[in-house]
A and B are shown apart, each in its own frame.
Chain A
Amino acid sequence: MLSLDKVGKTYPNGVHALESFNARIPQGEIVAIIGGSGCGKSTLLRAVAGLDRASTGTIRVDDIAITAPHEKIGIIFQEPRLLPWLNVADNIGFGLADLPAAARRDKVAQALARVGLSDKAKAWPRELSGGQAQRVAIARALVPQPEVLLLDEPFSALDAFTRRDLQDHLLDLWADTRPTLILVTHDVDEAVVLADRVLVMRPRPGRLFAEIDVGLARPRDRASSLFDAVKKRVLTALDRSLDRDLPDAAPAEAVGAWW
């Protein structure tokens, strides 16, 4: 269980990026966070990752307060951030330095096979396509088996085909060990295809605006009318979140009002 309790963040320059964010996310759930640019999504994710400290409130994973990076939490960024001086296999094994070499090799080989890049084990990061590099980043984050995996717009720099491919692939990988996924995205399709629950945020200061249960069985058909209906709900909530005149609604209400 990941619980966020009144998490807020004010940057040293005075920007009030996040205000009193509450959420309880059971183990294994996939949550998408969506919202306009600058509404604090990355701020929130970085606080959960322990990269930046929240100014107020608490973040807990299984009752462990998170104030610094923790082994139960992994993160994937928009850029793959591979280490250019390590080949693909060593990049994937980067977080396994404590393991004996043989065990590390096994795990890396498995992960490489799992993301379909066994033939690239010895390649340098510069020799990979954007999609392949992001696969390596996913493998690197998943190999230490985190309980929570955070993804900050992980596919937004990729073309539409590669993006779809990786979305499906991510679900596949998730099914192996079922970590909690928290995925920041600006792509409504992506949110609805992946998530159990979509959280819509609104800016200035960043806060939770609406919460939408997707409630579709997997695998999901992007062309089905049910899929479209959920997408419409998310889009409407997103539109309303950008409307400055609208007062903050209690999250459940905001959705219920439309539905």
Chain B
Amino acid sequence: MSIALDSPAATAEAPAQRYESGRWQRLARPALGIVVPVTLALAWELAVWAGWSNGRLVPPPSRVFATIVELARSGELTKHVTTTLFRVAAGFGFGVIAGTLLGAVSGYWGIARRLLDPTVQALRAIPSIAWVPLFILWLGIFETSKVALIAVGVFFPVYLGVMGAILSVDRKIVEVGRTFRLSGPAMIRRILLPAVLPAYVVALRVGLGLGWMFVVAAEFMGASEGLGYLLIDGQQLGKPAQILAAITIFALLGKTTDWLIERLTAPLLRWQDAFRPGGDS
């Protein structure tokens, strides 16, 4: 992008300048985010290439990339990625359903909240990893216990998000619904749901983040497939490039799924009048 700024067009007449600055906004600003990681990666690549380090424990990006390509070519990568994706999707699905239902019930009915919420909060205080031995005893060492652990991780932020969002719906807006004599279901559909939607999306994104965190924990507890297995396998066989490859793919998948939620819900939230740090892009 600095080329565009140095080019004569940028210093020419005003319209061209505005065009350039528009493009700058659209393309370069998101690109700013990758400057630091790319620089660090290039620096490390250079260091290994120049022989300042042998890169055995911290392999350079090219070797990590080569590992990924190799995994992809042998079909291993697809197998591990689909396994992990399936676990996250299933755990996220169950966690979201349970969190949404219980959160909605607790938010909507005071009695349910007094009945349920103390228990849920108490359970939340337990570090979720602590459930692992119990889940393995109860559900076996295969998929069920893994999905259950992920679902537990996703459940809490979604539950809290939904309940909190319902409790903080503006009474003044609810009164508008009452003035127009909305029935209970209509009040939920036309007032409460749209009002809690922004907070719900945030809760989903937090839940998904935890889902990715917990899938690693789940796959540490004895898996023969999945990106978490690749991590453990790389550690046991002393293959740091494989570990970094798995971490890179985790990062890519996590970011992509989060971006998907954001993209899919953006059309529903265009009305929001929120503070957008760093301008309205």
A interface vs B, CB < 8 Å? 49, 51, 68-71, 74-75, 77, 79, 81, 83-87, 94-95, 97, 124-126, 144
Complex alpha-carbon distance, A226 and B230, angstroms = 90
Whether a CB of chain A sits under 8 angstroms from the CB of B132 is: no
Task: Check A69 against B271 for contact (C-beta < 8 Å).
Answer: no
> Can you name 26 A-B pairs with beta carbons within 8 Å?
A51-B175, A51-B178, A69-B179, A70-B181, A74-B179, A75-B179, A77-B175, A79-B172, A81-B172, A81-B173, A81-B175, A83-B173, A84-B271, A84-B273, A85-B197, A85-B271, A86-B271, A94-B176, A94-B190, A97-B186, A97-B190, A124-B271, A124-B273, A125-B271, A125-B273, A144-B180
Give the A-B contact count at a CB cut-off of 8 A.
Answer: 48
B interface: dominant SS: helix
Residues of B within 8 A of A75 (CB): 179
Residues of B within 8 A of A81 (CB): 172-173, 175-176
- Looking at chain B, what size class is its interface with the partner chain? 10 to 19
B178 contact from A69, A97, A144, Cβ within 8 A: A69
Residues of B within 8 A of A125 (CB): 271, 273
Task: Check A69 against B194 for contact (C-beta < 8 Å).
Answer: no
Task: Check B180 against A69 for contact (C-beta < 8 Å).
Answer: yes
A interface: dominant SS: loop
Complex alpha-carbon distance, A94 and B186, angstroms = 12
Residues of A within 8 A of B190 (CB): 94, 97
Residues of A within 8 A of B176 (CB): 81, 83, 94
Complex alpha-carbon distance, A108 and B278, angstroms = 37
With A69-B181, A124-B271, A126-B273 as contacts: A83 and B175 at CB distance below 8 Å:
no
Residues of B within 8 A of A79 (CB): 172
Task: Check A83 against B180 for contact (C-beta < 8 Å).
Answer: no
Task: Check A71 against B173 for contact (C-beta < 8 Å).
Answer: no
Task: Check B271 against A51 for contact (C-beta < 8 Å).
Answer: no
Q: In chain A, what residue has the closest Cβ to B182?
A: A97
Complex alpha-carbon distance, A126 and B190, angstroms = 19
